[in-house]
Structure 1
Amino acid sequence: MLKAKAIRIREPGGPEVLELGEVELSAPGPSQVLVEVAAAGLNRADCLQRRGFYPAPPGVPADVPGLEFAGLVESVGNEVSDWKPGDRVMGIVGGGSMTTRLVTEGAELMSVPAQLSLEEAAAVPEAFLTAYDAVVLQGGLRAGQTVLLHAVASGVGTAGIQIATAVGASSVGTSRSAHKLPRCTGLGLTHAVLVEDGRFADNVLAAVPNGADVILDTIGAAYLSQNIKVIAKQGRLIVIGLMGGVKAELALGALLAKRASIHGSVLRSRSSKEKAELTKSFIDQMLGKLESGELKPIVDEVMEMADVRSAHERMDSNETFGKLVLRW
C-alpha cells in the first residue's frame, strides 16, 4: 500500500474538526494514474461535507475532503498511453483530493496549460467543468442567448461568465454583495444585479425583458419562484445547489405557459464513464480557450494546506471572490 498525507475530517462540525493525518492508497490499476498532488481547490461542498451534510459517494474516502486537484503524474497503469510520469495534470474526483497523492482514472485527467501554475490549475476543474456542463451541455446556451448566473462571484459563477462570453452569449449575474459585482463586470458580465431582501426578478427583467434562456442556480428553493418569473420562453433552469433550501412551491401554470424546463444536476456522484465523457468534451471545446487565456481561473487566494481551517472559515463567511486554493 502507498501512503500519503491528507486533510481528514475528525467528526462533523466546524473548521476545528479538520486535521492533518495520513491515508493509505492502492497502486494504480491498469487504466489509472497516480498523481502527486500539488494543490487542491476548496469548494462549498467541502464545507458541507465537513458539517456532515454532503457525504462522499460510495468508494470515495468518507473523511478526506476535496473535489479537484492539480499535480504531477507519478506513475501510470499498464493500459494508460496518454500520460507519463512528470506530466502536469488536473481533474475532478468524487472526494479525497486534499491529499499529497491520489489515484484516479486516466480518462478523467486534463493537461495543465503551460501558462498556469499548478496552484492556478487547481482552481479550474470543478468550477469550469460544472459551469460548462450545466450551461452549455445541459442548458444548451448558444450565441445570442442570455444566461442568468446566481452567486456570480463564486468559482462556478466566474467560470460561467467567461464561458458565456466564449460561446457568444450575454450574461446576467446576481450577488448579495454589492462590492463583488464590479469585479464580475470586469470579467465580462453583461448585467450585474444586486440581490436585496432576497429579491432579484424585477431587476433582471429590467436588464433582459425577454428573460433568461438558461439559469444556473446554486440557491434552490429560495429562488425558485423568481427564477420562474424571469425564465424565458422555452428556457432551461439548471439547479446545481440548494444553499437556499430544498423545498418550495412551484407555479406550474407559469412553467407550462413558458414551455420551460427544470433540470437537477450533480457532478460529484456521476460514474467514471460520465466524468470521462464530460472531461473529453471540455478538452475538445474549452481547454484551448484556457491555453489561449480567453478563459482563466479566478483565484482569490492561495493558502497553505496547513491553514485549511482558516480557509474553511473564509469560505463559510462568504468573503471570497472566485476560488480558494490550498497547496502542499
Structure 2
Amino acid sequence: MKAILIEKPGDESCMKLGETAPPALTPGSVRIRNVACGVNRADLLQRQGFYPPPAGASPILGLECAGRIAEAAADVTSFRAGERVIALLPGGGYAEESVVDAGSVLRLPDALDFETGAGAIETLLTVFLNVFQLGGLPSGGTVLVHGGGSGIGTTTIDLVKRAGGRVVATVGSDEKARRCRELGADAVANYRSEDWVEVAKQATGGRGVDVVLDSIGGSYLDGNLRALAEDGRLVLIGLMGGAKAELPLGALLSRRLSVIGSTLRTRSPSAKAAIVTAFQARFGADFAAGRIRPVIHRVFPLAEAPEAHRMLKASTHFGKVVLRVRDDER
C-alpha cells in the first residue's frame, strides 16, 4: 500500500510517499480502506522524533481517518464491509489502509463527505473528553480555549455552544477573531494585542471561567490560573509554549483549582471505546444528522503532506487540514 514514510525524523522534507506492507488484521479490529486522513499537531511532533507512537501502534503518522470498512475480524459484529466510517487511530492514518480496534470507529453520516469526516473524530473526542468529562463543564458554564482558530478551537466552540455553554477563545489575528465570533464564540482575544485574562474576566462578570482547555503549556500557566473561577479546572492537552513552569500552589489551595494533564492517543482501546460511547450518548444524534461538522481549511493530496505540515507550523489555517489518500472515491 502507499503511505507517507519517514526514514529518519526531521523537517517536512523527511516525509516521502512510498510503498509498505499493509497492517495485519487483529482480533477485535477492522481494516479501513482510507479515502482521507486528518492532520494534527501531534503528527508534526512525531515527524521530528519528539512524540513516538504508543507501543504496538503503527509508526506511520496519522491519528484519524475516513474511508470504508474493507474487512472486519471474525469477532467484530458491529461493522460490515463497505460501510462509510471514521476512526480514531493510535497511528497509521497517512496510508491507504489502517487497522484499528472497532471500538474506536464511528459511522460517517451521509451528510458528511470523506474529507470532512477525516477531520472530525480526533477533535470531537478530544474536546468531549477534556471539556465535558475531565473538565466537568457545568450547565451554562464558560470555557476558555486557546487557539480558537485551530481544529480543537473551532470544535470547542461548536460543542460547547450546542450544549448551552459559553466560549472565550484566544487567537493570533483579527481575522481569526472575526471567524470565531461567526462560529458563536462569546468573546475572543487577539493575544498579540489584548490581555486575554482580562477578556476572560470581563466575559464572565469578573468571576472567571469554569474550564480552560490549553494546548500551550508553560508560558500560559500563570494566566490560565488567573482566568479560572473558584473550583475551576485547567485541562492541559499540549506543550507548545514550554514543558516547565512554576506552579503557584497557594492559588490552587485557596481557590480550589485543579490542573489536569490529558492525552487521548495513549489511552487503551477499551478507554477510547468508552469515550466514543459517551460521546454518542451526548452528541450522537446531532453528529448523525450532520449538524456537527468540523471546519475544513484545506485538503492536500497525500503526496503533499510536507506542505500540509508547513501550513500547520505557520498557523495560517482556520479549522482542520486534511490529506486526500485516494482519488477513486468521493
Deviations 1:121-167 (A, max 9, x none): 00001111101100001111132110101111110111111111111
Structure 1 partner of 2:253: 256
In the superposition, the TM-score normalised over structure 2's length comes to 0.95
Matched, 1:33 2:30: yes
Tell whether the 8 Å contact from 1:139 to 1:237 is kept in structure 2 after alignment. Answer: yes
Which whole-Å CA distance do the structure 2 matches of 1:244 and 1:316 have between them?
A: 13
Residue 105 (structure 1) shift: 1.1
Q: Give the distance between the partners of 1:198 and 1:261, measured in 2 at CA.
A: 26
Structure 2 residue 222 is the aligned partner of structure 1 residue 213: no
User: What is the root-mean-square deviation in Å for CA atoms of aligned residues?
Assistant: 1.3
Cα distance in 2, alignment partners of residues 215 and 81 from structure 1: 39
Distance (whole Å) between structure 2 residues aligned to residue 196 and residue 320 of structure 1: 17
Q: Secondary structure at the match of 1:91?
A: strand
The residue that corresponds to 2:88 in the other structure is 92
In the other structure, the counterpart of 2:328 is none
Match of 1:67 in 2: 63
Is 2:190 the partner of 1:194? yes
For residue 300 of structure 1, what is the aligned residue in structure 2? 297
Is the Cα–Cα contact under 8 Å of residues 298 and 322 in structure 1 kept in the other structure?
Answer: yes
Aligned 8 A contact 1:166 1:294 in 2:
no
Correspondence 1:144 to 2:140: yes
* One-letter identity of the residue aligned with 2:87: G
Distance 2:294 2:124 in 1: 8
The Cα offsets for residues 164-198 of structure 1, whole Å up to 9 and x where unpaired, read as 11111111001122210111111111111111379
Q: Is structure 2 residue 73 aligned with structure 1 residue 77?
A: yes
Number of aligned pairs?
324
Aligned 1:227-238 pairs, distance under 5 A: 227-238=224-235
In 1, are the aligned partners of 2:188 and 2:199 still within 8 Å (CA)? no
Question: Post-superposition, which runs of at least 4 consecutive aligned residues in structure 1 deviate over 3 A?
Answer: none
Q: Is the 8 A contact 1:221 1:242 kept in 2?
A: yes
The answer to whether the Cα contact below 8 Å between 1:110 and 1:283 also exists between their aligned partners in 2 is no
Amino acid paired to 2:181: T
Aligned to 2:285: 288
In the TM superposition, residue 25 of structure 1 has moved relative to its aligned partner by 3.5
TM-score, normalised relative to structure 1: 0.96
Alignment partner of 1:123 is 2:119: yes
